[in-house]
Every structure is written in C-alpha cells, then in structure tokens.
Structure 1
Amino acid sequence: MEQRGAVRMTRSRAVALWLVIAGLFCAAPACAEVVVGVAVPRSGAVAGIGEQVLQGVQAAVKDANGRGGLAGEPIVLDIEDDACEPGQAVEVAERFVRTGVRLVVGHVCSSASLAASDVYAANGVVMISPASNAARLTDRGLSTIFRVSGREDDQGRLSATILAERFRDKKIAILYDDTPLSRSLADSTKANLNKIGQNEALFAAIVPGQTDDAALIKRLQASGIEVVYYGGHYQEMGKLVRTAAEQGYRPQWFGTSGIATKEFGTLAGPASNGVLMTFNPDLRRKPEAAAAVKALQADGIDPGGFVLYGYAAMQALVEAGNFAKSTDPKAIAATLHAERFNLVLGNVGFDQKGDVTAPGYVLYVWRDGAFTYAN
C-alpha cells in the first residue's frame, strides 16, 4: 500500500493544478476559491474504482471552472486517499474539517462513507458519495449527507428477482466477504429471494486473501451449485471466476456493482464472459451526459464504470451552489434537498434522506473484457 503522503494532493499543488487547467493567474487575496475535498481509495483493494471516480470529478471541475466555477469562485480540489478503510476515512474527514474544507465528494466504499459521514454531519460538512450504496448511510437522516448512486436494498431486490426469474430450478449459492456492505447485499438478496419463494442451497462467508479459493470451488462443485452470487468486490471475484474455469467448473456467476471496473475483466480473463452483474444505469447512454462523455473521451478517459458518477457528484455540488449563489454548506445542503438539477444523471433531485431520485440498478453482462446491458 502506498504511503498516504505519496498520494495526498496538498492545497498548494491543487491550486497550481487548477491554474494550469483554467489558464488563469490570480494571486491571493485578489481572488477567492472554493476548496472541495475528494475522498477516494487510491490504494488498497478498490483503488481502480477510486481512480474512476477521481477522473470524473476532475472532468466536472474542469468544465465548471470553464463556466465560472461554483457560485462565481474557482474550484480547487484537495484529494485524499482513504484506502477504503473506515479508520483512514475518519482521519481524512477530520483533516478536511480541520483545514476548513466544507464540501466533499466521497467516499466510495460504504464502510468508509459510514464512518466519515458522522464527522461531516457533526461539523456541517456536505458530503456526496458517488458510489456508496449502504442503506444506513442515508437512513440515519443526516441532513448534509447525499449520494448519486443507488441503495443496497434496491440492488438486493433486483438481484433476487433475476435469480428467481432466470434460475428458478437451479441450485444457488450466495457468498459474501467480511465487509459490512457485502454482507448487507447478500442478506438483502437472500431475504428477497426467500420472500419470492425460492431458497438458496448455500449461504456462506469468505475472507478475501485468506480463503482457499481452490477448496471453495471444490465445495461449490461438490454441492452441485449451478449459480454463484457474490456480493463482494472485483479482486476476489475475479480470482474466483478465473480459478473455477481453470478447474473446469463454470457455473453462472452473478456479481454486484463491486465488479463494475475493467480490472475484473483483466483478473478473470476469458472466464469473465457471461458473468452477470447489477450496477447503476449506464450514463453514457443518456443524452444529458453526451457533452461530458465527449470531453472525457477527448482527454483519453473511458467514461464507463463509476467515472460519470464521480462527475455527477461534483456536478450536483456545483449546480446547488450556483442555484443558491453560495458556497456555504448549509445553503447547498438545503438546495440539494429542495430543488431539481440537470445533471449527467438526467433531471434529478434528492429526497429528504439524501438519496438521488434517479433510477437505481439494471442488469449487465460481461463480454470481451467489458460489460453491457443484458437482454
């Protein structure tokens, strides 16, 4: 894992970066600026997803600064690595509070968002997550906490419906890892599947990095499992899918938004073909995202996965600040709750919990190292 100091972008470096992007030269105190904190995993198991989010945020800032910034002030990013770890996420949140950052895009992992959100809520900081789907994140009624991604309970309902409709006569295993989100997704999928009237053949936990993949695969195979649902992230599932294929075992694999990154296809190799996955709608297909997609592609960035969700989170802060004509977090939070905005997500708002009103999840299938809508 990288040392935090190696990945932290200091305020002065962030300012310099903005000056290069915007092509403007303005010495303090001649002009003001609004600092937005960005908290993503840049090291650890899901660094690939963190990079996608960061690319989207940076693209949104580039566009916003070209249009006058946030409430007339240029946006500067303070980028922090939370490594998808709750303890480190709290350290990041406390540093933001200490240095006066009052607007934050992040965090990515639900465990990190849950831990950090308590710090933000207690200090009046607006946090908008591009990827965390734990229901408890917004169910606690924290007025400054938002997200542009869907909720785990919605994802669990869809997963259960698909399992019941497509694999009613198959033996299904539901696996999860030792993270709260993975267990919650597995629990939600199991509960909804059982409610429909179908029972799984196996419900089991694995410990990433410690579970013997070959032994697990033999257990699944010996149990006659035909469909394997896994509620964890891409690293572990990619290895499982590849190892199973190498052993001649090819069940129908079914993942979640945790594998919505090209690294899954790389890890699983050709065995990724046919893997099903629930994930947020593909924003590249939305006409409202066309300009952002074009700009990202012009900069050599693939706008798939979580990229446009990072863009949407930053865009929502900008639109709310511009509507309120303020950089004050209290005004921005109130505006996010009260108004609707034209984002890459479409014309959306946020309910009183802080959940976005955009549609939740759809079914995808992996083909040739990429994923697309399933039939």
Structure 2
Amino acid sequence: MTRTRAVAALWLAIGALLVGAGAACADVTVGVAVPRTGAIAGIGEQVLQGVQAAVRDANARGGIAGEPIVLDVQDDACDPGQAMAVAERFVRAGVRLVIGHVCSSASLAASDVYAAAGAVMISPASNAARLTDRGLPTIFRVSGREDDQGRLSATILAERFRDKKIAILYDDTPLSRNLAESTKANLNKIGQNETLFAAIVPGQTDDVALIKRLQGAGIEVVYYGGHYQEMGKLVRKAADAGYRPQWFGTSGIATKEFGALAGAASDGVLMTFNPDLRRKPEAAAAVKALQADGIDPAGFTLYGYAALQALAEAGNFAKSTDPKAIAETLHAERFTLVLGNVGFDQKGDVTAPGYVLYVWRDGVFTYAN
C-alpha cells in the first residue's frame, strides 16, 4: 500500500469512528404538548414540571437506549385545533415520541395525527374513554378513564346524599359533558334521580342567575364536571350570596388555582381524582427531588413524570428509540414507575388503580374519609 493510500485509509477509519461516536451520542427528542396558556395552564405547568424532572432523572441513567433526551415543549392551549397543529409540527420535525396532551378534546384531535404517523403518544391527564377505545396501537395514557370516574362519583352521591336534591352541571367540553353524562347514567342505574341536569357556558353563563336557579330548586348538592376556573368562581360567588350547598368536583379542579379562586369557600368541596402518587413508595425519590427544587408534586405533576418514565423504561427494555418497538413493549411488559408496578392493556390504558375521593381543606386537597 502506498503512503498516500495508507493515509487515506487512516482518515476513513477515523471518520467512521467519529460518525459512530456521533450516532451513539445523538439526542432523542421527546415532544411535550401541554396547555401553557388558557383556562387550565395551571394543570399544564404541573405536567411540565413532572416531565422535566423525569427527563433529568432518566438522563442521569443514560436516557433512552443510551441516547440523551431533549424536550420540545409546545403549547396547545387546551384547544383541539391548536393541538392538531402541534401534532403536525412534531410529525414534520421527525418527533415520534410525545408526552401529551392534557385536555381530552386536544388529545382526541392530536392522537389521529400521531397514530397515522406511527408516533407514540402518552397522555398524563386525558380521561375520555374514546381516546383509547378506538384501539390505536401507539396511543396510551397514565391517568384514569372518565367512565371509571363517573361510576365512583355516582356511588358517592348515592351513598352519601341519597335523600338530597342533586344538580349535575357540565360545560361544552368533552371532559365535562362525558363526566356529567357518565355520573348521571350511573346514578340513575343505582336508582336515584338528579333534580337538575344542565349545561353552562363558561364565560357566558350568568353566574348570579345560575346560583339563584339552584337555590330556587332547593339544590343541596352540586356536581360540576368541568375545570377549576369556572367551578372556583361558582363556589366563591355562591358563598358570597349565602348559598353553601355541598359542591362536588372532578379531576378538572385538582390544582391549587381552584383553592385560590374559591377562597375559604373551597373548604369541604369534594373531588374525585387519581390516587395521590406522593404516597407511593416507588415515587419517594422523585418526590424528594421535586421538593428539593421547591416544587410540590401535587395534582398531575407525578403523572407527567410517570408518562416520561414509561416512555424511557419501554425504550430501555426494547433497547431502541423506535416508536413501534416502544409501543409494542408498552403493551407487552410491566414497569416499576412512580405509579407502582404497572402495565398497559391492549387499548393503551394503564393498569394502575383508578380514582379516589378527596376533600379540600385550607387551599389543598387530601383523601376524604
């Protein structure tokens, strides 16, 4: 071999090594789609903080299949149209692993885009049954389902308030409407009928008139299937008017902003929500780390953490960042997450326990007796 050819061969070998090293150190981008503006930005912030903490911990252990994780965070504003635009942006950019979305309407719109592109989506918060009932193979969630929450709500209403006049209110979002309808159907199945079943339009309904209508009908228990902004205002305004029924909310009010909006009137408000992961021994290290950063991992924070954690664990089990391999692994295996030791069924629903009852006291919510 001539000296020139030997030098050329040496540089080719060095180049191959550099390319291999570069490939080994390539980042894997995970998209994060949450509401950072709009009515439920507070819940979006909870999820994002959990995801960021999980990325830090996963990267300390080697990322996904040896590749460091970087986040591409986008705001969907809890809007289906914007959520679809975010999903299309991710797909165009080659992002095939996504944590999101939060609102059921946003998740339903975006999931069709991800499914068509073969991208994995894990929602930390959406509970619409239809999200997973369609059987899309790359769509998952770590939170509970609306039908499970509706059954629990109806059981609580029947057991605790059998002789009370109950109103069931909802707004025009899939979360609210579906939860209200599920609660009503299950309550009626038990043999108890509500006194009032009515829709409201957030930002347009006359709250004072609504409160007078509830009072006039002698309503003693008000179930509301919507988010914290509207319910927080209703609870506070009703108390200001001297009307204090038993208020009963859902996972849509599981954020400190509800307590701030309702003020002292939030004391005693009941709420169904996912189990408090801060009590899980498997979550102890994550809780400690978040608290050290000044973050109270309440509400959906650890569900954001769990979504990213599931993605990383599946990728590491499969030794791949390929979305198809990760999706197949999520369906087939069990993982020790902050949720406990869990898997995902063929629909994409997590096998963790569903919902429990909480009560608000002094601006925070805790398990109810």
TM-score, normalised by the number of residues in structure 2? 0.94
> What residue is the counterpart of 1:207 in the other structure?
201
DSSP 3-state at the match of 1:336: helix
| 1:105 equivalenced with 2:96 (yes/no) | no
Task: Measure the CA separation in 2 of the matches of 1:203 and 1:97.
Answer: 41
> What residue is the counterpart of 1:57 in the other structure?
51
| 1:259 equivalenced with 2:253 (yes/no) | yes
8 Å CA contact 2:65, 2:315 repeated in 1: yes
The counterpart of 1:132, out of the listed 112, 116, 126, is: 126
Task: Measure the CA separation in 1 of the matches of 2:204 and 2:137.
Answer: 39
> What residue is the counterpart of 1:219 in the other structure?
213
Letter in 1 for 2:365: F
> What residue is the counterpart of 1:87 in the other structure?
81
Shift of 1:336: 0.1
Letter in 1 for 2:294: G
> What residue is the counterpart of 1:78 in the other structure?
72
| 1:284 equivalenced with 2:310 (yes/no) | no
Unaligned segments of structure 2, at least 5 residues: 1-20
DSSP 3-state at the match of 2:282: helix
Map 1:113-192 onto structure 2 (within 5 A). 113-192=107-186
Letter in 2 for 1:82: D
> What residue is the counterpart of 1:234 in the other structure?
228
8 Å CA contact 2:123, 2:142 repeated in 1: yes
Shift of 1:180: 1.5
> What residue is the counterpart of 1:337 in the other structure?
331
Unaligned segments of structure 1, at least 5 residues: 1-26
> What residue is the counterpart of 2:268 in the other structure?
274
Task: Measure the CA separation in 1 of the matches of 2:91 and 2:221.
Answer: 46
Shift of 1:28: 6.1
DSSP 3-state at the match of 1:183: helix
Letter in 2 for 1:371: F
Shift of 1:29: 6.5
Task: Measure the CA separation in 2 of the matches of 1:132 and 1:301.
Answer: 23
The counterpart of 2:315, out of the listed 315, 318, 321, is: 321
8 Å CA contact 2:250, 2:273 repeated in 1: yes
Task: Measure the CA separation in 1 of the matches of 2:122 and 2:357.
Answer: 25
Task: Measure the CA separation in 1 of the matches of 2:149 and 2:65.
Answer: 35
| 1:368 equivalenced with 2:362 (yes/no) | yes
Structure number with larger C-alpha Rg: 2
Shift of 1:30: 7.4
Shift of 1:223: 0.4
Q: CA RMSD in A?
A: 0.9
Aligned length: 349
TM-score, normalised by the number of residues in structure 1? 0.92
